[in-house]
Amino acid sequence: MSSDSSHRLFQLKLDPLTGNSEWVVIEDNDDLPDCPKEPLLATTSYLDMLNDSCRNKAFRSAIERTVTKPCHVLDIGAGTGLLSMMAARAMGLNGTVTACESYLPMAKLMRKVLHRNRMGKAISLINKRSDELEVGVDIPSRADVLVSEILDSELLGEGLIPTLQHAYDKLLVENPLTVPFRAVTYGQLVESTYLWKLHDLSGIEPKVSDGIHLVPADSDSIIHVKSRQYPMHCDAIREEIKPLSEPFEIFEFDFWKRPESNGETKVQVKAIDDGNIHAIVSWWVLQLDREGTVFYSTAPRWINSPANIGYRDWCDHWKQCVWFFRGKGMSVSRGEEVLLEATHTETSVSYNLNVQVPKTDTRQHDHNIRDFQLLLSPERIAIYGDSKWRSSVLAAVRNAGRVNPLCVVVDDSIFLTLVAANLSKTSHVLSLFPGLREKGAQYLETVVKANGFSMDRVEVPEKRKPCLTLHDTRGKKVDMLIGEPYYYANEGMLPWQNLRFWKDRTLLDPVLSEDALIMPCKGILKACAMSLPDLWSSRCCLGDVEGFDHSIVNTTLGACGELPVPKEGPFLPFSIWQCGEIKELSEIFTVLEFDFSKPISSCHGTAQVKFTEGGICHGFVLWVDWIMDTDNSIVISTGPEHRYWKQGVKLLSKPVAVGINGCSSNIEYGSTIVEALFEPSSSELILKHAFL
């Protein structure tokens, strides 16, 4: 059953080549097609969760141990209805199950799953937020059992605490049963140069010494990451992490009682080695049943977990979390004790460190924070601190031979803005900052003096415009148009969606001088055939999930493998180095080129490549190499070996065995032909392939 009220969802859709957004309306009475043109929910974590067999088995076991007789079960954040169906089955379809799912596309998909599994009459589906439910209106009575999985990598980020509070106040009987029963968060203090580079630009930049000061000495906190926990596959950097403490317990959250909104704890942590504490790596362990026999853990593999908490397979929906301590990190010696102060709100956890000097005194590890701060992603900070990247960009601008009289920085690059103004004392730099906007202008005002120029040589338009006119440039033609390209807050997108630079360059064509220098001058779409068994397993088509048919969700969730012809899985952005087991099977090859000296247009390319290694090919990994100069000598690559960028992944409809021709009789394919078409009108890249 489902509620009869009509619902409407407004979903924001972004055009990556223009930066413009539009609202798409999804009506409740519009049936969700079995094979939609686009996989509507491909970028969500639903598919990865449903492919996590350890999670599914743990919830099934705990529900069967908890729901042992007919009762009223409430499932909050029901998704496809898997936990609801488990509960209904555990009661022999004799009790009452209420499934609450607020996201309309998922609620529509859940209806199909329930119908496919003949559970439509056993489960009441309500398309509302749980805090909108009313007993006697939406549900017949308070529920005896709560089953729910509204957890993120940090545990609290999906609103676990306020959801439980409302449920205990309004929706549950006194002393209800719950699945899960309890969660405990753990942490470990670590030293890691890699993690340090992700947040301490003020400590890294002085080592570069190239004359550009993104973080002047008197403004060391002007650029930094947001103070929050960052989900990360820490096993991928195990060799770059030095543990400085044993694992320790931080918070315990009981699902079986009403939680508090805020909490604080102090943990005395003893250093097990000498080093600098750059970060805390945290994870959680879920106890799903009251008896304490069913567990699930997100701990990294180097942690020795108890025998009853097994290691899970690689999955992307729950990672470890990393909290960066400001600056170069607190220096500790083996045996020294530090005091970790942890605080949680309704939706997040934060940390602070103090070192015990004597017992009566502490040195607090903190920094004064200036009024203005530019918050950037950890990857962006690491890029700005990378000496090779900086020297390449500087060389490209210097080799251009001129930065005058008018230079336009078309993207959100504060580095290029400072470089352009620094290298020529007569140039005027117009930085569009389409994402940073006034934040970019405030930042420049703070750092111009340290970089040897004044704001009368740099201009940031007050309002965003689709294109510039000669009125905006004061009658002057643009001599130099540059970008990295980098667009603020768009770092999770597919790499070729930064071809927004090409679109912007095209819109500016009327104000470009005849010999205007465009940088980068072109982009090259690169690819490599790869074995990606862990990523494939997390994204493959669903069939039976703990006894329930989920095959109907595959197209909508963007699954790969066994899709209806001619459907294929979508391109998805991933940092390949964090995708578990990976192996390159071919040489890196060029698929097509984008010529930025001309206005944007459709591009087509074909390449035939031989496999250089034997193995199972799961798909192609693609990225863009930006050619910064006309001599093709300066290249900024965003490929898998560069860990600060995401690549685009196209998983095959079916994995295939490949190898070097003639090396083995059981090798199926020795080469492949790849054909690509980029269509700017739809911002889409279409990839076709044939194995030979």
Contact 676, 593 (CB under 8 A): no
Q: Has 462 been annotated as catalytic? A: no
Contact 12, 23 (CB under 8 A): yes
Active-site residue, selected from the candidate residues 27, 158, 240, 260: 158
Residue 13 backbone phi and psi in degrees, to 5: -120, 130
Question: What gap in Å lies between CA 196 and CA 328, rounded to an integer?
Answer: 7
Contacts 24+ apart (CB under 8 A), 51-56: 51/315, 51/537, 51/538, 51/539, 51/540, 51/542, 52/312, 52/313, 52/315, 52/317, 52/318, 52/538, 53/313, 54/296, 54/310, 54/312, 54/313, 55/149, 55/296, 55/312, 55/315, 56/82, 56/545, 56/546
* Cβ neighbours, 10 Å, residue 291: 11
Contact 11, 104 (CB under 8 A): no
Question: What gap in Å lies between CA 689 and CA 692, rounded to an integer?
Answer: 10
Contacts of residue 462, Cβ cutoff 8 Å, sequence gap at least 6: none
Contact 37, 261 (CB under 8 A): no
Q: Has 149 been annotated as catalytic? A: yes
The closest alpha carbon to 147, from 292, 295, 288, 296, belongs to: 288
Provide the H-helix boundaries in 153-302: 160-166, 193-197, 201-204
What beta strand segments (E) does 454-558 contain? Answer: 458-459, 478-482, 512-519, 522-531, 544-545, 548-549
* Cβ neighbours, 10 Å, residue 249: 12
Tokens linked to 608: 């035939």
Rounded to the nearest 10 degrees, what angle do helices 414-423 and 387-399 cross at? 50
Active-site residue, selected from the candidate residues 101, 149, 568, 584: 149
Question: What gap in Å lies between CA 435 and CA 458, rounded to an integer?
Answer: 17
Find the helix or strand (DSSP H, E) in which 108 lies: helix 104-116
Residue 298 backbone phi and psi in degrees, to 5: -105, 20
Maximum pairwise Cα distance, the chain? 81
Question: What gap in Å lies between CA 435 and CA 449, rounded to an integer?
Answer: 24
Contacts of residue 445, Cβ cutoff 8 Å, sequence gap at least 6: 455
β-bridge partners, 270:
337
Beta strands 428-431 and 406-409, pairing class: parallel
Question: What gap in Å lies between CA 270 and CA 264, rounded to an integer?
Answer: 20
Question: What gap in Å lies between CA 553 and CA 559, rounded to an integer?
Answer: 8
DSSP 110-170: HHHHHHHTT-TTTEEEE-S-GGG--BTTTBSS-EEEEEE----TTSSTTTHHHHHHHIIII
Residues carrying an active site annotation = 149, 158
